[in-house]
């Protein structure tokens, strides 16, 4: 791998010709969407067409606001015909994370998550970086491209969210990119994206959470039952962490045959990722960081373990399992 941004840029650009049609695949969140925007901008004179496709359902209010305010053109992956494209790239993720990407030969992988062993002609994975938006900003600067207001705002917000305002892991390159982008950002748009926390549909779940919450030893427990999207569990877990004297929040719900459990804490001598892995890892997937973690358990794995159709029983069962390990 080349060591300078200019050398990496030259290697990246050398892969493409004017006849190429590029498909960029993302799991849409602010960092991924902004990084895809930047890659599209880098290659707009190199290829004949570029399409950005997302493998996930986009429902989080900030993601929807970002798409609307920055006028992003995205398409669900299931509506794409891969045979119409000659080149494939994935940013802020890696191919083996998604079953639906099997069989696609990727030309470009750019990410900041730990390497999964995926192969491509061009691979740039930097786990020490706080955001892929930082990496893409370095490419733009190497190409001497002044980002548009929309692109700069997207990249700025991508760094902001993935580093949690530099409270999470980051390096000086993240800070430098953030400072560079600030010259071109529309801060009003960035603030509007950030403040888009609720949808009308989510309000009923907030009411349900306030009615069903149980507070015990500085911990809030809520089981919402069936939800229209698990992102609402994330939003409510974050919401309860804003309450004085709350050190843990545990919010769960069922979605498409799975139990989803979201945990947040204040990170003071706590490790949410290790906790969920120890408690629920044998039943499904579980893990995360010290302050935030997620578990997803197929409901069929709970047969004979708990009466998962009874929300009150489920709520008590989750609380008991966690209490045993804290």
Instruction: For 11-49, write each residue's pLDDT tens digit.
Output: 999 999 999 999 999 999 999 999 999 999 999 999 999
pLDDT tens profile 220-229: 999 999 998 8
Has residue 326 got a pLDDT over 80?
Answer: no
| 63-73: average pLDDT | 95
Residue 55 pLDDT > 50:
yes
Mean pLDDT over 6-14 rounds to: 95
Report the C-alpha gap between 307 and 263 in whole angstroms: 22
Lowest mean pLDDT among 109-113, 227-231, 313-317: 227-231
Task: Say what the pLDDT of residue 207 is.
Answer: 94
| pLDDT score of 102 more than 70 | yes
The reported pLDDT for the residue numbered 198 is 73
* 122 membership: H or E segment, kind and range: strand 122-125
Q: Which percentage of the chain shows pLDDT scores above 90?
A: 78
Q: What integer pLDDT is reported at residue 1 of this predicted model?
A: 45
Contact 182, 174 (CB under 8 A): no
Percent of the chain with pLDDT over 70: 99
pLDDT in tens, 264-288: 998 788 889 899 999 999 999 898 8
**In this model, does residue 209 exceed pLDDT 90?**
yes
Domain parsing of the chain, residue ranges: 5-194, 204-323
What is the torsion angle, in degrees rounded to the nearest 10, for the CA atoms of residue 26, residue 31, residue 35 and residue 37? 90
Highest mean pLDDT out of 134-138, 193-197, 263-267: 134-138
Burial of residue 244, with CB atoms counted within 10 A of its CB: 0-12 exposed, 13-18 middle, 19 or more buried: exposed
Supply the pLDDT for residue 195.
82
Q: Which fold has domain 5-194?
A: inorganic pyrophosphatase (n-terminal core) (3.90.1640)
What pLDDT score does 3 carry?
A: 73
pLDDT of residue 269: 82
Task: Count Cβ atoms below 10 Å from residue 279 Cβ, excluding itself.
Answer: 20
Q: Is 120 left (phi over 0), alpha (psi -120 to 50) or beta?
A: beta
Task: Give the range among 93-102, 106-115, 245-254 with minimum mean pLDDT.
Answer: 93-102
Q: Which CATH topology does 204-323 take?
A: Diaminopimelate Epimerase; Chain A, domain 1 (3.10.310)
Q: In which band, very low, low, confident or very high, does the pLDDT at 314 lie, cut at 50, 70 and 90?
A: very high
User: Quick one: pLDDT at residue 64?
Assistant: 92
Q: Please list the helix, strand and coil fractions of the chain in percent, rounded to the nearest 5, in that order.
A: 40, 20, 40
Residues 6+ apart with CB under 8 A from 232: 202, 205, 224, 253
What six digits make up the tokens of 44? Answer: 């707009």
**How many residues does the structure list for the chain?**
326
Among candidate residues 12, 188, 195, the one with its CA nearest the CA of residue 110: 12
């Amino acid at each position: 791998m080349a060591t300078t941004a200019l050398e990496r840029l030259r290697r990246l650009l050398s892969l493409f010709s004017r006849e190429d049609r590029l498909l960029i695949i993302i799991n849409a969140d602010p960092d991924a969407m902004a990084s895809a925007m930047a890659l599209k901008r880098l290659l707009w004179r190199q290829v004949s067409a570029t399409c950005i496709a997302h493998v996930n359902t986009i429902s989080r209010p900030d993601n929807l606001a970002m798409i609307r305010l920055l006028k992003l053109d995205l398409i669900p992956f299931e509506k794409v015909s891969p045979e119409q494209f000659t080149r494939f790239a994935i940013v802020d993720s890696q191919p083996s994370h998604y079953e639906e990407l099997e069989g696609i030969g990727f030309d470009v992988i750019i990410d900041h998550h730990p390497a999964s062993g995926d192969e491509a002609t061009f691979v740039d994975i930097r786990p020490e970086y706080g955001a892929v938006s930082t990496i893409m900003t370095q490419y733009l600067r190497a190409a001497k491209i002044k980002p548009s207001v929309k692109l700069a705002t997207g990249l700025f917000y991508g760094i902001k969210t993935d580093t949690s305002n530099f409270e999470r892991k980051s390096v000086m390159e993240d800070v430098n990119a953030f400072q560079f982008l600030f010259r071109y950002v529309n801060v009003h748009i960035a603030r509007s994206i950030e403040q888009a926390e609720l949808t009308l549909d989510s309000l009923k779940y907030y009411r349900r959470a306030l009615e069903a919450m149980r507070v015990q030893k500085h911990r809030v427990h809520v089981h919402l039952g069936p939800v229209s999207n698990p992102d609402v569990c994330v939003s409510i877990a974050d919401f309860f962490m804003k309450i004085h004297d709350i050190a843990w929040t545990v919010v769960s719900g069922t979605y498409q045959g799975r139990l989803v459990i979201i945990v947040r804490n204040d990170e003071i001598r706590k490790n949410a990722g290790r906790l969920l892995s120890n408690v629920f890892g044998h039943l499904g997937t579980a893990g995360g960081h010290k302050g935030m973690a997620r578990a997803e358990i197929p409901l069929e794995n709970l047969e004979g373990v708990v009466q998962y159709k009874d929300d009150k029983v489920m709520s008590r069962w989750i609380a008991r399992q966690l209490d045993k390990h804290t």
